[in-house]
Amino acid sequence: MLKILCAMKDPAEEILSLVKGHHIEMFGGGAALHELVSQSNYDLILLEEKTNVIAEIKAADPRAEVVLFSNDGIDAIDAVRMGAVACFTLPLDDLERLRETIDAVADTVQTRIETAALEKQLAAKYTFSGVVGKNPLMLDIFSFMRRIAPYFRTVTIMGETGTGKEAIAKILHTLSPAGTHPFIAVNCGALGPNLIESELFGHKKGSFTGAVADKVGLFEAAGRGTIFLDEIGELPLDVQPHLLRILQDGEFRPVGSARVLRAQCNVIAATNRDLSDEVKQGRFREDLFYRLTPLTVTVPPLRARKDDLPLLSRHFLYRFCNKSGKKIFGISRPAQSALFAYDWPGNVRMLESVIEHAAILAQESYIRLDDLPSHVIRAAGVEETAPASSLDEVIKTHIERILKDCNSNRTRAAERLGINRNALLRKMTKYSIR
pLDDT at position 382 is 57
Give the CA angle between residues 41, 46, 50 to the nearest 5°.
105
Residue 92 belongs to some domain of the structure: yes
Backbone angles phi, psi at 413, to 5 degrees: -65, -40
Q: What is the amino acid identity at position 33? A: L
Q: What is the pLDDT of residues 283-300, one digit of tens each?
A: 999 999 999 999 999 999
Tell me, what DSSP letter sits at residue 189?
T
Residue 118 belongs to some domain of the structure: yes
pLDDT at position 276 is 94
Look at residues 163, 170, 171 and name the one whose alpha carbon lies nearest to residue 184.
170
Report residue 122's pLDDT band, with 50, 70 and 90 as the boundaries: low
Domain count, the chain: 3
Q: What is the pLDDT of residues 194-222, one digit of tens each?
A: 788 888 888 888 777 777 788 888 999 99
295 and 188 co-located in one domain:
yes
Residue 406 belongs to some domain of the structure: no
Residue 422 belongs to some domain of the structure: no
pLDDT at position 30 is 61
Backbone angles phi, psi at 353, to 5 degrees: -65, -40
Q: Is residue 138 scored above 60 in pLDDT?
A: yes
Q: What is the pLDDT of residues 243-279, one digit of tens each?
A: 999 999 988 888 887 788 888 999 999 999 999 999 9
Q: Is residue 75 scored above 70 in pLDDT?
A: no
Please compute the mean of the pLDDT values over residues 152-161 and round it to a whole number: 96
| CA atoms of 18 and 16, how far apart (whole Å) | 5
Report residue 398's pLDDT band, with 50, 70 and 90 as the boundaries: confident
Report residue 51's pLDDT band, with 50, 70 and 90 as the boundaries: low
239 and 362 co-located in one domain:
no
Tell me, what DSSP letter sits at residue 372?
S
Q: Answer yes or no: are the C-beta atoms of 275 and 322 closer than 8 Å.
A: no
Please compute the mean of the pLDDT values over residues 43-57 and round it to a whole number: 81
Q: Is residue 327 scored above 70 in pLDDT?
A: yes
Tell me, what DSSP letter sits at residue 87?
E
- Contacts of 395-400 spanning 24+ positions with Cβ under 8 A: 395/77, 395/427, 395/431, 396/431, 396/432, 396/433, 398/77, 398/80, 398/81, 399/77, 399/424, 399/427, 399/428, 399/431, 399/433, 400/433
Report residue 419's pLDDT band, with 50, 70 and 90 as the boundaries: confident
109 and 231 co-located in one domain:
no
The terminus-to-terminus CA distance of the chain in angstroms comes to 39
Please identify, among 344, 359, 379, the residue that sits at the C-terminal boundary of a domain: 379
75 and 153 co-located in one domain:
no
> H or E segment at 377?
helix 374-379
CATH number at residue 225: 3.40.50.300
Please identify, among 240, 274, 299, the residue that sits at the C-terminal boundary of a domain: 299
Look at residues 17, 16, 13, 56 and name the one whose alpha carbon lies nearest to residue 37.
56
Regarding predicted confidence, which is higher, 60 or 347?
347
Residue 287 belongs to some domain of the structure: yes
Report residue 351's pLDDT band, with 50, 70 and 90 as the boundaries: very high
Domain containing 248 equals 136-299
203 and 237 co-located in one domain:
yes
| Runs of H (alpha helix) within 133-239 | 136-148, 165-175, 196-201, 218-221
CATH number at residue 324: 1.10.8.60
107 and 151 co-located in one domain:
no
pLDDT at position 325 is 86
Backbone angles phi, psi at 198, to 5 degrees: -65, -40
166 and 277 co-located in one domain:
yes
Please compute the mean of the pLDDT values over residues 84-109 and round it to a whole number: 86
- Highest mean pLDDT of the ranges 48-57, 85-94, 133-142, 208-217: 133-142
Q: Is residue 223 scored above 50 in pLDDT?
A: yes
Residue 322 belongs to some domain of the structure: yes
207 and 342 co-located in one domain:
no
Residue 327 belongs to some domain of the structure: yes
DSSP secondary structure letters along 235-295: S-TTTHHHHHHHHHHSEE--BT----EE--SEEEEEESS-HHHHHHTTSS-HHHHHHH-SS
266 and 359 co-located in one domain:
no
Q: Is residue 388 scored above 70 in pLDDT?
A: no
Look at residues 352, 322, 315 and name the one whose alpha carbon lies nearest to residue 122.
315
175 and 203 co-located in one domain:
yes
Please identify, among 75, 96, 125, the residue that sits at the C-terminal boundary of a domain: 125
Residue 268 belongs to some domain of the structure: yes
Look at residues 265, 275, 176 and name the one whose alpha carbon lies nearest to residue 227.
265
Report residue 385's pLDDT band, with 50, 70 and 90 as the boundaries: very low
User: In whole numbers, what is the pLDDT of the chain averaged over residues?
Assistant: 86
Please compute the mean of the pLDDT values over residues 163-187 and round it to a whole number: 94
pTM of whole model > 0.75?
Answer: no
> CB neighbours (10 Å) of residue 332?
18
117 and 21 co-located in one domain:
yes
pLDDT at position 202 is 85
pLDDT at position 343 is 92
| CA atoms of 141 and 81, how far apart (whole Å) | 47
CATH number at residue 101: 3.40.50.2300
97 and 190 co-located in one domain:
no
